Amino acid sequence: MKVYLTLMAIAALVTYVSTPAMRHLAFRVGAITAVRARDVHTTPIPRLGGIAIFLGLAVAGIVASAISFLDPVFAAGREPWAVLGAAGIVCAVGMADDIWDLDWMAKLAGQFLAGLVLAWGGVQLVTVPIAGVTIGSSYVSLIATVFVVVIAMNAVNFVDGLDGLAAGMIAIGGLAFFTYTYMLARSASPGDYSSLATIIIAILVGACLGFLPHNVHPARIFMGDSGSMVLGLVLAAAAIVVTGQIDPAVITERERIPAFVPILLPLMVVAVPLVDMTAAVIRRALRGESPFSPDKHHLHHLLLRRGHSHRWAVTVLYLWTAVLSFGTVSVVFLTVNGALVVTAIGVAGAAAVTFSPRFARFFSRQWRRAGHAAFALQRATPEGRQRREERDDARVTSGADPRPEDGEGS
């Protein structure tokens, strides 16, 4: 466990430290998100935060390859490098889109290429862990792998519409996934807890946590497509490793982990993005539009229109992700009936917070007050200090009285 937590911390630190440099790069190359009708931000925000996320993943992955405890993972094949290579491809495609606004067909082609690289590197769906079903055809396995990867990338991309939303949801769901993969590794191979899926999830969660201080509302930088597609691909890679490459028959009877969990848990991690993406595709198809055409009817837009504040709308979606992902993984520690009861209680609580105006107003007020701590952390970032100094200099020059930074204390 210490090894995985160390890798998580390395990914977080590298991402946190490199994000300010990506912010400056975004200004230099013109990767700026202008204010559009469908957006909720009110000032232009730089993109390219995804490059920092990829750097966190890459550095932590290279460090992992040098740890003797994890030698069995890297000696078994080229799968770890296939994940990093595919992530590098979609990061490059996303970076190009953040700078030059590629059309959707070019982005989709890049996503398919990344999925193929991942599959050719050995990360393929080869079994479905229910009743020992095996995909008999290598071509079907390849197609299924690419299909899963592309869906995951677009699901995360679709939900990336509020400050801190995508990174926070993947971090929360990833923590549940990390718990499961670690317990699965302990059960499947006593004495050797090295696991590719656990490595992938650990560094993914770390990169998200390192990016969040720069991205919480009001965001200093967006991850852009260079980040959302990387998050989706890496999460899909971990899910494929668990779902398609670990035989649940090796799990001890004492653990009694249901065979459907390896399939259900990855779906629960991205359940909210998948629901949002599916609804968007159906909605746009009914209007005769491209499924990739933007609009202002995503889940986060609906929450804002129901009166939720920006931060509380994000928190509501965090809550649903936590309930679904941790509720699913609770079967590792509880009986199936106990896990169902816990999940049902969580769903009821999340529904009350989401749909009750009284709960929404109460929790939104409390969360607004708690937001001061997030602002303090955000102001401690390099770009936060620079922005504060520039603001103070401008006020001194104009003779204006010092005032709180925009959004602070709201």
For the chain, what are the domain ranges? 2-288
Task: Specify the pLDDT at position 368.
Answer: 62
pLDDT: is 300 or 91 the higher one? 91
Sign for the pseudo-dihedral over CA of 123, 125, 129, 134: negative
**239-292 tens-digit pLDDT:** 888 875 555 555 444 344 555 666 777 778 778 777 877 787 787 778 777 766
Q: Could you say which DSSP state residue 254 is in?
A: T
The rounded percent of the chain whose pLDDT value lies above 90 is: 39
Task: Specify the pLDDT at position 125.
Answer: 80
Would the pLDDT of 348 be above 60?
A: yes
Would the pLDDT of 407 be above 50?
A: no
Could you report how far apart the first and last alpha carbons of the chain are, in Å? 40
pLDDT band at 403 (very low <50, low <70, confident <90, very high): very low
Task: Specify the pLDDT at position 65.
Answer: 94
For residues 196-225, average pLDDT: 93
Task: Specify the pLDDT at position 405.
Answer: 43
Element (H, E) at 261: helix 261-269
Would the pLDDT of 345 be above 70?
A: yes
pTM, 2 dp: 0.81
Give bridge partners of residue 116 from the DSSP assignment.
none
pLDDT band at 296 (very low <50, low <70, confident <90, very high): low
For residues 210-235, average pLDDT: 92
Distance of alpha carbon 239 from alpha carbon 4, whole angstroms: 17
Asked if residue 174 lies in contact with residue 200, where contact means CB atoms within 8 angstroms, the answer is no
